[in-house]
Amino acid sequence: MTRAVFLDRDGVLIRTFVRQGVPHPPQTLDQVEVLPGVAHALHMLRVEGFELVVVTNQPDVARGTQTRGAVEAINAELGRQLPLDEICVCYHDTADRCACRKPAPGMLLAAAQRRGIDLASSFMVGDRGSDIAAGTAAGCASFLIQTPYSKCDKVKPHALATDLADVARQILSFPRLPEQRSQESSCPACLPFESRFSPMAPTFRA
């Protein structure tokens, strides 16, 4: 089995637009801005053998303020710019009560099944409480990238970070034991931590 880093998209990989304290995703390709340090952080994680899987809620499609085609175009562009293995999307809104919309863990569980990922040796990175809750429910250690809108009161992340580069440094700072170097399913980065459907759409796969 492989290890993975699950990544929220907006606010982790690309810049969000904050209006009245609420973050909003880019609406068009020309609004997409990959955040500083993201490409290098992903490269460092990839070199160490982590699969990189994006799990993103895009409820504006269900709300009628965004099109599925626009979301897929943005994701395809990210797939071209960044070393990502898969981008999974939930297009539902809260009222749909689906199994894939974070804080539910459905996207992570389905990706793990498809890709042979060991969730207990994997990480979830997000900028909101719903990301952390999804990672925790799936059995991953979680990192919260702190922002003014994070609102992570109901669930505690395993660690805090300033950005994805900081997350990568923390994950890779833990030493690997000799016997773990030969076992892809073992993740020494997890040792210091406490932890050990409705249709969802992968819109990009490497």
Given this model, what pLDDT does residue 203 score? 54
Q: What is the mean pLDDT of residues 49-57?
A: 97
For residue 25, cis peptide bond before it (omega within 30 degrees of 0): no
Write the pLDDT tens digit of every residue in 15-51.
Answer: 999 887 788 899 999 999 999 999 999 999 999 999 9
Q: Residue 202: its pLDDT value, please?
A: 55
Reported as a pLDDT band with limits 50, 70 and 90, residue 198 is very low
pLDDT score for 71: 94
pLDDT of amino acid 205: 59
Cα–Cα distance measured from residue 203 to residue 50, given in angstroms and rounded to the nearest whole number:
20
- Taking only the tens place, the pLDDT of each residue in 148-192 is 788 767 778 999 999 999 999 999 987 553 334 434 333 333 333
CB 27 within 8 A of CB 105: no
Q: Please tell me the CATH code under which domain 4-205 is placed.
A: 3.40.50.1000
Write down the pTM of the prediction: 0.84
Answer with the residue of higher pLDDT: 193 or 150.
150
* Domain residue ranges of the chain, discontinuous segments joined by +: 4-205
Three state DSSP letters for the chain = CECEEEECCECCCECCEEECCEEECCCCHHHCCECCCHHHHHHHHHHCCCEEEEEEECCHHHHCCCCHHHHHHHHHHHHHHCCCCEEEEECCCHHHCCCCCCCCCHHHHHHHHHHCECHHHCEEEECCHHHHHHHHHHCCEEEEECCCCCCCCCCCCCEEECCHHHHHHHHHCCCCCHHHHCCCCCCHHHCCCCCCCCCCEEEEEC
**pLDDT for residue 195:** 31
106/193: higher pLDDT: 106
Annotated active-site positions, please? Answer: 8, 10
Q: How many residues does the chain have?
A: 206
